[in-house]
Structure 1
């Protein structure tokens, strides 16, 4: 009797998508995209920190069903210079340092149990839950930090923010967005849309400055030309005056 041929580990397929939407609603999608943009903006100088949203995270080699798609994850110690289709922990030899789930009443049970214990067992240093509609999390934000291989709740600051040691930043709920507060400037980091507007404004200012500089240069050239013209007139008058003096003598 012939034995069935089992696929080798190299032949096992790891899907890149399950066809499910990114978030529960448009609000959740916007919150996820804002976080992605803000965290990439904050960490763009770190070439070994990869920030991604809604990507399949495979955590067991040879088991394509061992997969999750965190809303946002921050992974340290990997090459951030290129984009991936999936993230396999055994290939990258790394797990996320931070996972943020934009949660809702519909996903609460899974976010607080299945994902909680999975991320804890994988060694994800910090796990945050952001409830943009405040359906079940008072204050919208809850966080956990890995201490001795177990998650411990992160204490809420007086201003309602949570401090992320891994991000070296504070997380601050604002309406349906989760703001990332820059510890240096103490101001919220712009998200993707805000960064685009900021870039457009900066380009407009640069264009205005360039036009102003061009106008000033043109005026300077005109002033220089006028000065040279006046010098010529003065020189001509001096020559005539000298000629008159010579003829008078």
Structure 2
């Protein structure tokens, strides 16, 4: 009786890059970095929240053609780390719950609709498109059943998962942390840090100047006290009661 040896199927390769640029222009890039950085900062102390930008998601094991690389995504319940792609089937089948795309002139509406269908199919709970060019605007969708339904008014909208708030101000987009602080770009964060450091150094310098003035006053008072004691001693030597003078 002959035995038949089965050849195992070839291992599937999941590339870490789709060959597409991260951004088509500097404005889109700035928004991607700002969103990813601020959200990552929000959850820096939570070990089970993974935040990534321009990162491939593979939802189906064995099929490397089914994939998307959102501009920014957030996966709750998954550990922080550094890896080439996000394979849902290796992440306890947790699909990222919040997805952001930042519009650029190279995007097509049909392409964005296909992406939204993809994210809805595999389990995204929130999907946002940021249109940063003036006059800027926002689109958002929230999961309802197996579908993503459009948010009627994004001005003042709170993300259920993230707790962040979106606003439209004079043709520009503003995003706020749950504590009310505005999302800042890397440059703005650097400028704020520099300003804060400068203020701290100035306050420290003023405190040191006050300490030196207080020390000088103490020394003058001590010198006056010693002078008075010397005068009193001299008066006593002359037989004069200094308290009676």
Counterpart contact for 2:97–2:125, Cα < 8 Å = yes
CA distance in 2 between counterparts of 1:140 and 1:132 reads: 7
Return 5+ residue gaps in structure 2 as ranges.
none
- Whether 1:170 and 2:165 are equivalent positions in the alignment is yes
Q: Match of 2:14?
A: 14
Coordinate RMSD, CA, aligned: 2.8
1:35 aligns with 2:30: no
Please list, as runs of the form range in 1=range in 2, the aligned pairs for 1:41-60 lying within 5 A after superposition: 41-60=41-60
Q: What is the CA distance between 1:171 and its match in structure 2?
A: 1.8
Aligned length: 236
Q: Is the 8 A contact 1:128 1:144 kept in 2?
A: yes
Match of 1:108 in 2: 109
For the Cα contact (< 8 Å) 2:136–2:173, is it kept in 1? no
8 A contact 1:50–1:79 mirrored in 2:
yes
Equivalent residue in structure 2 for 1:140, among 134, 137, 141: 137
**1:143 Cα deviation from its structure 2 partner:** 1.0
Of the three residues 224, 227, 232, the one matched with 2:221 is 227
Partner secondary structure for residue 78 of structure 2:
coil
Q: 1 CA distance for matches of 2:6 and 2:172?
A: 55
Question: Which among 156, 159, 174 is matched to residue 179 of structure 1?
Answer: 174
Match of 1:215 among 209, 232, 235: 209
Could you tell which deviates more after superposition, 234-243 or 85-94? 85-94
**CA distance in 2: counterparts of 1:43 and 1:77, whole angstroms:** 12
Describe how 1:60-99 pairs up with structure 2 within 5 A. 60-80=60-80, 82-93=81-92, 94-99=94-99
After TM superposition, give the deviation of residue 123 of structure 1 in Å: 0.8
Gaps of 5+ in 1: none
Whether the 8 Å contact between 2:136 and 2:172 is mirrored in structure 1 is no
- Residues 165-220 of structure 1: CA deviation (Å, up to 9, x unaligned): 111122234588643223443x5232322222111111111111121222222222
- Following superposition, the deviation at residue 46 of structure 1 comes to 3.4
CA distance in 2, matches of 1:146, 1:44: 26
CA contact (8 A) 1:31 1:177 kept: no
